[in-house]
A and B are shown apart, each in its own frame.
Chain A
Amino acid sequence: MSGRGGTLLVLTALVLLWEFAVRGLGVQPILLPAPSRIIAEIVSSPWFWLRQSGDTLITTVAGFALAVVLGVSLAIGIVYSRLLERVIYTLLVALNSLPKVALAPLFVIWMGTGVEPKIAIAVMLAIFSIVVDMVLGLRSIDPDILAMAYVSRARPIAVLWKIRLPNALPTLFAGMKVGISFALVGAIVGEFVAGSDGLGTAILIAEGQFDTTRVFAALVMLGLMGTALFYALEFAEGLLLPWHPSHRARHGNSRG
């Protein structure tokens, strides 16, 4: 049995167990709806759920992309400048020790209730792991490789572009995989505090109506989206880093 087939089998078994437990024990849908009810809810209004998911997806991806661009730039600054290292790194650590979700209302005050504060919150949540991992990746370069480049009279920009950045890609991807889930959290928190659209808002509205089935429908969409985003990154990683030890085996041409 292949790994993927096994996962699917276990997942199906769990959903079936849930379905039969809810039916057999006669659990009220307001407490816990059966999977069939949740699926029926999504299927009954597919455009509504797709549109809400699309809104959240755009916020998440925009926030994530911005976090990557800002995070990578900050990391380069931190690695190349003592001053930036002291100032920005300390600031980031301090910011990260704060429960960032508590800052969300501030962004609404500053940016209104459009898409901007939601993206900003997503950036704020996603950026930390990206910066930390990128800094680690840029720093963990074999000093002898840098010596080789130096003796070869390579300019600092060439060292950054041809050695440090490619060397940092694997750890950057590790940071991005953590960051993408945080961006999704940020998007939902943004929709909670300032939403008129998106899955976060859909959850709030359904909660207000005690429509547990709709809450679960939103959660299913969120789960699917988060998983899809994670695997999209993993796919990109496989395409970009076929040389990395974690991908060599899959390409079937690894030797000693």
Chain B
Amino acid sequence: MSETATAAAARASNVCIELRGAGKVYPSRRGEVVALQDVSLDIEDGEFVSLLGPSGCGKSTLLKCIAGLEDISNGDLLVRGERVDGPPLGLGMVFQRDLLLDWRTVLDNTLIMAEFQGLDRREQKPRAIALLERFGLGGFIDRHPWELSGGMRQRAAICRALLTEPNILLMDEPFGALDAMTRDDLNVELTRIWQTAKRTVLFVTHSIAEAIFLSDRVVVMTPGPGRVREVVRIELPRPRPLAVQGTPEFAAYVTYLRGLFAELGVARN
């Protein structure tokens, strides 16, 4: 299929992010390091997809390529039918660390997104406050990041990414540094936010339970070189309460995914 035909097909079928044989090679002193190899994947509009795998499987690299932070070395990477060359419009990203600016209050940290994108700060302010309130930070908008807990800081970082209402949200192990309880809490909030305004979410994690709980589909990735091993559709009904994690269906997904990794020798059962 020619490229224009692919793009046309992408628009027709609501494919948001499209990878065709995408690879990423880093030059190094001892030759080339293959971070990603032959990744083919379609992510549809409004879909919640997790990239699951151990460290070194290229899942963060893949996210960076989609964000336009890095170029793929071969294959095709299209966002809304267009080849990625720099950060695509309408894309928000949440990083592993909150990356809040120490000299700005929580509100100003959120509003920096408006400043970056040349929007009127005063116009965006009520939206920012509403967003922060929704994430339980209403009483902390005038605080500085160093006055908040890790979970609150990451909530503020999510608000910053959501301020301009991106229709694609990339999340790179956003809750990896948080304790299990805060993490559960944020996972529930994230699904709630996602269900009210269905944006495409691509979520990187190395937690099997987190990936199953959040996603429509889980992309299982394996290291050396990073490639897609299998894509697992999660057929649990939504909305999913935390208690879904105790159901036999959930346990079956966990067992299946663990088995995949065990087979590959990256996790023992």
Contacts and interface: CB of A to CB of B under 8 A. Distances in A.
Interface of A: 142, 144-145, 147-155, 158, 162-163, 166-167, 169, 241, 243-245, 248, 253-256
A51 B164 CA distance: 59
Interface of B: 67-69, 87, 89, 91-93, 95, 97, 99, 101-103, 112-113, 115-118, 144, 146-147, 149
Contacts of B93: 148, 151-152
Contact of A153 (B87, B144, B149): B87
A243 B69 CA distance: 30
Contact of A142 (B67, B99, B118): B99
> What are the nearest 6 A-B pairs in CB distance?
A154-B116, A152-B116, A243-B103, A151-B93, A151-B87, A243-B102
A162 B101 CA distance: 10
Nearest to A148: B99
Nearest to A248: B146
Given A150-B68, A151-B92, A166-B103, 16 more contacts: A142-B99, A144-B99, A151-B67, A151-B68, A151-B91, A153-B87, A154-B117, A155-B118, A162-B112, A162-B115, A163-B101, A169-B103, A243-B103, A243-B146, A255-B146, A255-B147
Contact of B95 (A148, A155, A163, A253): A148
Contacts of A153: 87, 89, 116-117
A241 B99 contact: no
B146 A254 contact: yes
A193 B245 CA distance: 82
Contacts of B68: 150-151
Contacts of B87: 150-153
A78 to B, nearest CB: 23
A147 B60 CA distance: 13
A241 B113 CA distance: 22
A145 B99 contact: yes
Contacts of B146: 243, 245, 248, 254-255
A85 B95 CA distance: 32
B228 to A, nearest CB: 23
A151 B67 CA distance: 6
21 contacts: A145-B101, A147-B69, A148-B93, A148-B95, A149-B116, A150-B69, A151-B69, A151-B87, A151-B93, A152-B93, A152-B113, A152-B116, A153-B87, A153-B117, A154-B116, A162-B116, A243-B103, A243-B146, A253-B147, A254-B146, A255-B146
Contacts of B91: 151
A158 B69 contact: no
A73 to B, nearest CB: 22
B97 A166 contact: no
Contacts of B112: 162
B116 to A, nearest CB: 4
A248 B147 CA distance: 10
Given A147-B69, A151-B68, A166 B101 contact: yes
Nearest to A158: B116
A243 B144 contact: yes
Contacts of B102: 243-244
Contact of B103 (A145, A154, A241): A241
A5 B113 CA distance: 47
A108 B40 CA distance: 73
Most central of B68, B101, B115, B149 by chain A CB within 10 Å: B101
Contacts of B144: 243
A171 B97 CA distance: 23
B105 to A, nearest CB: 9
Nearest to B91: A151
Nearest to A142: B99
Contacts of A169: 103
Nearest to B114: A152
A151 B149 CA distance: 25
A144 B97 contact: yes
B35 to A, nearest CB: 17
A153 B36 CA distance: 25
